[in-house]
Amino acid sequence: MPRIRHLRAFTVDAQGGADYHDQPAGHWIDDHIATPMSVYPEYRQSRQSFGIDVLGSLVVEAEADDGTVGFAVTTGGEPAAWIIENHLARFVEGAPAGDLERIWDQMFRATLFYGRKGLVLNAISGVDLALWDLLGKLREEPVYALLGGPVREEQVFYATTARPDLAEGMGFIGGKLPLRHGPAEGEEGLRANVEVMRSMRERVGDDFFLACDCWMSMDVPYATRLGHRLDGLGVRWIEEALPPDDYWGYAELRRSLPPGMLTSTGEHEAGRLGFRLLLEMDCADILQPDVGWCGGLTELVKISALADAHGKLVVPHGSSVYSYHFVITRHNSPFAEFLMMAPRADEVVPMFSPLLLDEPVPVGGRLTLPDTPGFGVRLNPECELKRPYANRRR
């Protein structure tokens, strides 16, 4: 097995890409969506106004001594690039390309004093995914084959979108709508949240599930009232109603919702111990780790096994090929998320566009992955990469 000769971290000088919240004005994903910052009226209209896209895309390359290059993309930008070049690289360069477990463990242990979750886990995830891509290319196998192979022929998707009614016509099995109002907008905002879901239910068929995404914007009393007002509208789950660390609140909310209305969370959680806490405190019915943020595939495998042992679903937060190669191999990941990244959510475009070439998209709401080695994607040469920390300080 070749050794890893170089690890490189780049930022991308282009909108969109892996930091998919970085979109031009007018895009549905930045149009008055409720967030923890909604308590400040000046930050309600646009999530970019408070910096949701402040980090930018991160590209990680791992080159083996035989010249093979694996890469991956995630959210992290310059700060993640600094962590990778000045701290994580020492555990990767010189190591055998197959030593994913030891490399991951050293990266995680070495950053515990300042990492644990958040940006550092994004950086570790980016390195880990690049190493899985490299290993697949060296072994000439798709990553899903390295994970034990598919448990189904094709993957079905629900769509996260401002237009679930359009997503139904595209063959998706359900639609998740981001809610626009939080507690600070009072009863009027709550009524508007309920009304948008009621209106959407009237526009889609009974077999098409709806969910609502609250992006950490609420509190337990408000989310409980919301859940009971949505009862009867066929809302499958209420997503990420509370801040990620409010394990107690999630457990209380889950007990308080109407029978059959599920809760989900996890896209801003990281590491298997964080997900163990969500499981053992009965916080959610569906866990949604983002494989580009939770620690990468090496950690997602552990998170998923824990969840499976608790009888819980793992439906990773939209992360393009990096989650598709995983979910196709796990029974407790029966469907996947697809984020509709067209500005008016009226057509299917690759999630990380324009950063990747050969990025697969669902057709008719379903997808069969090719057997291309690694994750089966290439970097778009038209996207200008910058390597801000090539001259390492440490």
Ligand X SMILES: C[C@H](O)[C@H](O)[C@@H](O)[C@@H](O)C(=O)O
Numbered residues of the known binding site for Mg(2+):
213, 239, 267
Least distance between Mg ion and beta carbon 223 (Å): 14
- Closer of 168 and 240 to Mg ion (Cβ): 240
Give the footprint of Mg ion on residues 290-349 (CB under 5 A): none
- Closer of 58 and 339 to ligand X (Cβ): 339
Cβ neighbour number for residue 375 with a 10 Å cutoff: 30
Q: Please report, in range form, the residues annotated as the binding site for substrate.
A: 21, 47, 337
Least distance between ligand X and beta carbon 18 (Å): 12
- Closer of 137 and 317 to ligand X (Cβ): 317
Using CB under 5 A, pick the residue from 85, 99, 213, 290 that binds Mg ion: 213
CA atoms within 13 A on the CB side of 98: 5
How remote is the C-alpha of 36 from its chain's centroid? Answer: 19
CA atoms within 13 A on the CB side of 89: 22
Least distance between ligand X and beta carbon 323 (Å): 11
* Binding site partner of 178, from Mg ion, ligand X, none, Cβ cut-off 5-8 A by kind: ligand X
Query: Catalytic residue positions?
Result: 317
Least distance between Mg ion and beta carbon 292 (Å): 14
- Closer of 142 and 182 to ligand X (Cβ): 182
Sequence-distant (6+) residues with CB within 8 A of 320 are 350, 351, 352, 356, 359
- With CB under 5 A as the contact rule, which of the stretches 31-39, 238-246, 333-341, 345-353 interacts with Mg ion? 238-246
Least distance between Mg ion and beta carbon 213 (Å): 4
* Binding site partner of 318, from Mg ion, ligand X, none, Cβ cut-off 5-8 A by kind: ligand X
Coil, helix or strand at residue 206: coil
Which chain residues interact with ligand X by CB under 6 A? 29, 33, 160, 178, 213, 215, 267, 317-318, 339
- With CB under 5 A as the contact rule, which of the stretches 216-224, 239-247, 274-282, 302-310 interacts with Mg ion? 239-247
* Binding site partner of 269, from Mg ion, ligand X, none, Cβ cut-off 5-8 A by kind: none
CA-wise closest residue to 126 among 71, 196, 173: 71
- With CB under 5 A as the contact rule, which of the stretches 111-119, 163-171, 207-215, 275-283 interacts with Mg ion? 207-215
Report the C-alpha gap between 224 and 242 in whole angstroms: 11
- Report the run of H or E that residue 258 belongs to, with start and end: none
Report the C-alpha gap between 214 and 179 in whole angstroms: 6
Report the C-alpha gap between 390 and 373 in whole angstroms: 28
Report the C-alpha gap between 183 and 241 in whole angstroms: 11
- Token readout for 384 is 């200008």
Report the C-alpha gap between 174 and 114 in whole angstroms: 39
Least distance between Mg ion and beta carbon 306 (Å): 20
- Closer of 179 and 355 to Mg ion (Cβ): 179
Report the C-alpha gap between 297 and 320 in whole angstroms: 13
Residue nearest to Mg ion (CB): 213
Order of strands across the sheet that contains 69-75? 69-75, 57-64, 4-12, 385-386
269 binds Mg ion (CB under 5 A): no
Q: Calculate Rg over the CA atoms of the chain.
A: 20
- Closer of 180 and 254 to ligand X (Cβ): 180
Residues found near Mg ion in the complex (CB under 5 A): 213, 239-240
